[in-house]
């Protein structure tokens, strides 16, 4: 068994890859320096220098991208998780978020003279993502079949054009099996972003904050709304939110969850 990371600067290049459903496609891999991965989480730079957090080895990415990396080996990848790191080494990190493989990563298969078609490289490129990550420090955990997990170096989400979306919900009436709800979307971004168009659930954004009323919001059934902001100078920002009202606990109000895709 062998595992290694491709940690180098490379030019954009055409490549043939294979989606998880096995249908071969092709495209261009974005160039970039690869994020290192370790067999031991304690190898992360944050645990060095007398256990004091430091910025050495930091990778900075915008809030709608992930750092580029490539990991090669013979083992199948069971899952890829994203974890937000705590601000100090004495505080536990946040809960893991499983990042779906489809649409986020590519699998490149290579021939191996000893075991054909099993050697592979998993690639995370620099495309715009479907999620807006909160600013802060993060790392990946790669779950592998029959092999110890791999942990990436810490990377930092920092975006001078950062778009923050504050979402809240208020119930103003209940008539089972539905509830009347007002959802409020408030956008925070600096003046350097030029937003050309925006939609919430497919409907154009008209004001900031935007109030979305759902007079027939069903009880006990999750509902989803996608926010899309197109800009002329910072790409496209997307975020999916799930809304849920528990008929057994109306005092809890509208439960809002950010969905990672």
9-62 pLDDT, tens digit per residue, is 455 555 555 554 444 455 555 555 578 888 889 888 888 765 556 555 568 888
Pairing type for strands 69-73 and 77-84 reads unpaired
Whether the link from the prior residue into 170 is cis, omega within 30° of 0, is no
Q: Report whether pLDDT(117) > 80.
A: no
143 and 81 Cβ atoms separated by less than 8 Å? yes
**84 or 121, higher pLDDT:** 84
For tokens 């430091």, name the residue. 54
Query: Residue 96: what are its φ and ψ, rounded to 5°?
Result: -70, 145
**8 or 93, higher pLDDT:** 93
213 and 185 Cβ atoms separated by less than 8 Å? no
> What does the pLDDT read at residue 9?
46
- Cα–Cα distance for residue pair 177/218, rounded to 1 Å: 6
> What does the pLDDT read at residue 235?
83
- As to burial, measured by CB atoms within 10 angstroms (0-12 exposed, 13-18 middle, 19+ buried), residue 202 is exposed
> What does the pLDDT read at residue 20?
47
Q: Which residues are within 8 A (CB) of 58 and not within 5 positions of it... i.e. 6 or more apart?
A: 45, 154, 155, 156
- Cα–Cα distance for residue pair 18/211, rounded to 1 Å: 42
Split at pLDDT 50, 70, 90, the class of 1 is very low
Q: Report whether pLDDT(132) > 80.
A: yes
- Cα–Cα distance for residue pair 113/79, rounded to 1 Å: 27
Number of neighbours of residue 252 by Cβ within 10 angstroms: 11
**14 or 163, higher pLDDT:** 163
For tokens 């991208």, name the residue. 65
Q: Report whether pLDDT(120) > 90.
A: no
- Cα–Cα distance for residue pair 223/116, rounded to 1 Å: 45
> What does the pLDDT read at residue 233?
83
The structural domains of the chain, ordered by start, are 3-157 (no CATH), 164-259 (2.60.40)
Mean pLDDT of 197-205: 94
- 108 alpha carbon, distance to own chain's centre: 21
119 and 112 Cβ atoms separated by less than 8 Å? yes
Q: Report whether pLDDT(6) > 70.
A: no
């Amino acid at each position: 068994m062998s595992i290694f990371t491709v940690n180098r600067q490379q030019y954009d290049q055409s490549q043939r890859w294979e989606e998880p459903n096995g249908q071969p496609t092709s495209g261009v891999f974005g160039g970039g320096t690869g994020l290192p991965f370790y067999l031991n989480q304690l190898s992360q730079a944050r645990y060095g220098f007398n256990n004091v957090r430091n910025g050495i080895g930091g990778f900075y990415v915008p809030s709608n991208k992930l750092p580029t990396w490539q990991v090669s080996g013979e083992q199948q990848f069971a899952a890829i998780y994203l974890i937000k790191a705590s601000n100090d080494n004495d505080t536990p990190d946040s809960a893991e978020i499983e990042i779906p493989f489809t649409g986020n990563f590519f699998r490149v298969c290579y021939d191996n003279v000893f075991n054909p078609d099993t050697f592979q490289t998993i690639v995370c490129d620099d495309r715009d993502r479907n999620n807006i990550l909160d600013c802060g420090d993060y790392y990946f955990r790669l779950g592998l079949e029959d092999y110890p997990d791999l942990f990436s170096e810490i990377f930092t989400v920092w975006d001078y054009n950062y778009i923050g979306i504050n979402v809240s919900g208020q119930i103003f009436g209940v008539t089972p099996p539905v509830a009347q709800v007002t959802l409020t979307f408030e956008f925070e971004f600096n003046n350097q972003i030029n937003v050309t168009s925006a939609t919430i659930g497919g409907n154009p954004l008209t004001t900031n904050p935007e109030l979305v009323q759902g007079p027939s919001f069903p009880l006990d059934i999750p509902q989803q709304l996608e926010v899309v902001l197109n800009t002329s100078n910072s790409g496209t920002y997307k975020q999916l939110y799930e809304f849920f009202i528990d008929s057994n606990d109306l005092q809890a109000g509208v439960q809002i969850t950010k969905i990672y895709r």
